Amino acid sequence: MPKGKPWTREGEAELKQMVESKESIETIAARFGKTKEAIREKCKRLGLKVVIQRHSAKTTTSIPIPMELPSAEEALKILAGALKAAAEPDLEKVEVQRLHVVATLAKTYKELLADYINYRAIEAKLLEMEEKYAQLAEKAEGDASKPNTAQMVQPPAK
């Protein structure tokens, strides 16, 4: 049931014009003194497609790559913050989706971090084995260049 003032035909026409001119939902909501959700619902009932504008500062295609990986503790702190925020009442759908993404990314990070740590241990073991192999190869090469006196052929006695 409607809670606010009912829409007039003029209001619906103005809403249609604002949507067609790609006004932001925030601007439209402010113009009519209604919530963004009320505007979305009215647009849905009228068959209008509202363009949701993204803030250009947050929609960058490049992802900054940190110099060091965050620790498991840092990832858990981020997840704990998202969990606390998700417990807040009256979250908008977009915020719930964002928090869901944070939780999913934290879970994925934890799994990949464990794999990374295992790979680093394997890599360290491989480097250690390569070093031992190089030492053994050097030793074998040194042994091969030394004459083996036991195998030297003695000239026949006269």
Task: Output 68-73 pairs: Cβ under 8 A, ≥24 positions apart.
Answer: 69/113, 69/116, 70/109, 72/110, 72/113
Interaxial angle between packed helices 9-20 and 25-32, expressed in degrees from 0 to 180 and rounded to the nearest 10: 160
What sign for the dihedral angle of Cα 80, 85, 89, 92?
Answer: negative
Residue 132: the pLDDT is 93
Q: Residue length, the chain?
A: 158
Residues of the chain with pLDDT under 50: 56, 60
User: How far does Cα 37 stand from its chain's mean position?
Assistant: 29
Residue 13: the pLDDT is 92
Residue 63: the pLDDT is 74
Q: Which of 54, 25, 57 has its CA nearest to residue 42? A: 25
Residue 23: the pLDDT is 87
CA angle 49, 55, 61 (to 5 degrees): 105
Residue 9: the pLDDT is 92
Residue 87: the pLDDT is 84
Task: Please identify which residue in the block is written with the tokens 């606390």.
Answer: 84
What sign for the dihedral angle of Cα 72, 75, 81, 82?
Answer: negative
Residue 52: the pLDDT is 64
Question: How many other C-beta atoms are found inside a 10 Å radius of the C-beta of residue 123?
Answer: 10
Residue 150: the pLDDT is 55
Q: Are 48 and 38 in contact (CB under 8 A)?
A: no
Residue 25: the pLDDT is 86
